[in-house]
């Protein structure tokens, strides 16, 4: 998608859905799939829990969203089961300093772990999505909906 920095959360989500649907239908032309700075890829639908994503030149980064899995975690001295998800990322260090790349991923992680900081409208959509997940146990395989699953608290990012 182009000019994500100029859109609000809903505009970005809408454009991701539009592009994803076009790609799945085989109707996404080269002009729709090139010219971006970063790719967000979803490997979760394929069962991937970690990956080494390859940057699509001339982009400078790629972030892969992986499968949500149940893992043991320690909370307040007790072992509990939590739904967690890895982010896999690669950055072109000719353009992006490693410290800045790590800070970016840490910011994404922190935002995904705290859906309460989202605008009220996004939280409403999150609650609707959570209800669907609770009723069906299924998550969409699109990157937008995978991110939504995390934003809604259906998964947490590991530290």
What are the tens digits of pLDDT across the range 127-145? Answer: 455 555 555 555 443 333 4
pLDDT tens series, the chain, 159 aa: 787 778 777 888 888 888 888 988 999 888 887 778 888 888 777 888 888 899 988 889 999 888 889 999 999 999 999 988 889 999 999 988 889 989 888 888 887 787 666 655 454 444 455 555 555 555 443 333 434 443 334 443 333
Catalytic position from the list 3, 8, 92, 93: 93
| Nearest one of 146, 126, 133 to 42, comparing CA atoms | 146
Separation CA 153–CA 141 (nearest Å): 16
Separation CA 122–CA 116 (nearest Å): 9
Pick the CATH number of 37-151 from 1.10.150.130, 1.10.3720.10, 3.30.470.20, 3.30.559.10: 3.30.559.10
Separation CA 116–CA 107 (nearest Å): 15
Q: Extract the tokens encoding 156.
A: 């947490």
The pLDDT tens digits of the residues spanning 44-71 come to 778 888 888 999 888 899 998 888 899 9
| Nearest one of 13, 49, 54, 53 to 145, comparing CA atoms | 13
pLDDT at residue number 78: 96
Name residue, tokens 């002009």.
31
- Reduced 3-state DSSP string for the chain: CCCHHHCCHHHHHHHHHHHHHHHHCCCCCHHHHCCCCEEEEECHHHCCCCCCCCCCCCCCEEEEECCCEEEEEEECCEEEEEEECCEEEEECCCCCCHHHHHHHHHHHHHHHHCHHHCCHHHHHHHHHHHHHHHHHCCCCCCHHHHHHHHHCCCCECCC
| Nearest one of 67, 56, 75, 77 to 141, comparing CA atoms | 67
Catalytic position from the list 3, 8, 97, 100: 97
Q: Is 8 a catalytic residue?
A: no
Q: Is 92 a catalytic residue?
A: no
Single pTM value for the model: 0.62
> Dmax of the chain from CA atoms?
52
């Amino acid at each position: 998608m182009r000019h994500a920095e100029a859109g609000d959360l809903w505009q970005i989500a809408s454009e991701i859905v539009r592009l994803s649907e076009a790609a799945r239908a085989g109707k996404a032309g080269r002009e729709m799939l090139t010219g971006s700075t970063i790719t967000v890829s979803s490997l979760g639908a394929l069962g991937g829990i970690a990956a080494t994503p390859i940057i699509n030149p001339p982009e400078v980064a790629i972030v892969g969203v992986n499968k949500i899995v149940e893992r043991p975690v320690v909370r307040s001295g007790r072992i509990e089961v939590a739904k967690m998800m890895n982010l896999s990322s690669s950055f072109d260090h000719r353009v992006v300093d490693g410290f800045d790349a790590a800070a970016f991923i840490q910011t994404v992680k922190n935002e995904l772990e705290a859906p309460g900081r989202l605008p009220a409208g996004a939280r409403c959509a999150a609650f609707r999505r959570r209800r669907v997940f609770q009723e069906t146990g299924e998550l969409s395989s699109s990157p937008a909906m995978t991110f939504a699953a995390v934003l809604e608290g259906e998964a947490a990012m590991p530290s």
